[in-house]
Amino acid sequence: MTEVGFVGLGIMGAPMASNLVKAGFDVVGYDPVPKGVERLVEAGGRAAASIAEAVGTADVVVTMLPDSPQVEQVALGRDGVLDHARSGILYIDTSSISPEVSRRVSKTARERNVRPLDAPVSGGEAGAVEGSLSIMVGGEPADFAAARPVLDVVGATVVHVGGDGAGQTVKAANQLVVAGVIELVAEAIVLLEACDVDVKAALDVLAGGLAGNKILDRKRASMLARDFRPGFRVDLHHKDLGIMLATAREAGVSLPLGGLVAQLMAALRARGGGSLDHSALLLLVEELAGRGSGKTGALPAGSPS
């Protein structure tokens, strides 16, 4: 039985780790917040009291963390993953972080005879629970092949996209597309409601045609209900769009609509929506259109907590 050390058991990490347990892996998990660890133990995994305990005897280490600083701290910091990982293990970082930071982590890992892969995921909480995530993987082809038994449990689409940092670059493009589609779906809802048609029926038709997309499939019902309980928080998408803009600048390319949707996400966050699901862009579109609904989930005033 392969032992997997899993660090980061939040909204995404906890169900991913639980799916590995269900698939027969011996999973040892650590998170400073007890809730995720408890969820893993309930699924049959084991709790670790520290990063060292989670990774010290592992064959594979997986991290799922909020941002670049946390990955640097957990991977490279004192008593972090690389301080305690055994020689030759696979280290799979599934966080969404800066490609530059990912390349730096990978370089340091190889210097310590650890085989790194950057493997950010897409699909939100539902995809993590279902084990149907899309995973874009950067790193050495041989290491990718060795990691497939783990990655195939948590993802339905698992693709090697290039060398170190390539997975993070593809994830930046993914977040650009997702944010843009959410914005357009939100605008379509506002337009349809303003024209007094059967909005549910209209979205059903759109979802079945060329305009169909996974945002419509997964989120149209919750958007119509103004239910913005987070599957993927605005705060995190705002962070990812910052990575997208920085990556575009480094590459020397202009992304006009990408810049606009990043500003809209930033505006939603500034209006107090940081803890809401990213589909709450609908609330901002309503506000801009002068059609604030006043329904449950309306934007709070002031800055995000």
Q: Catalogue the active-site residues.
A: 171
How many Cα atoms are found within 13 Å in the side-chain-facing hemisphere of 11?
Answer: 16
Task: Tell me if 168 sits within 8 A of 102, measured CB to CB.
Answer: yes
Task: Tell me if 179 sits within 8 A of 157, measured CB to CB.
Answer: no
Report residue 22: phi and psi, to 5°: -60, -30
Task: Tell me if 133 sits within 8 A of 19, measured CB to CB.
Answer: no
Residue count of the chain: 305
How many Cα atoms are found within 13 Å in the side-chain-facing hemisphere of 130?
Answer: 12
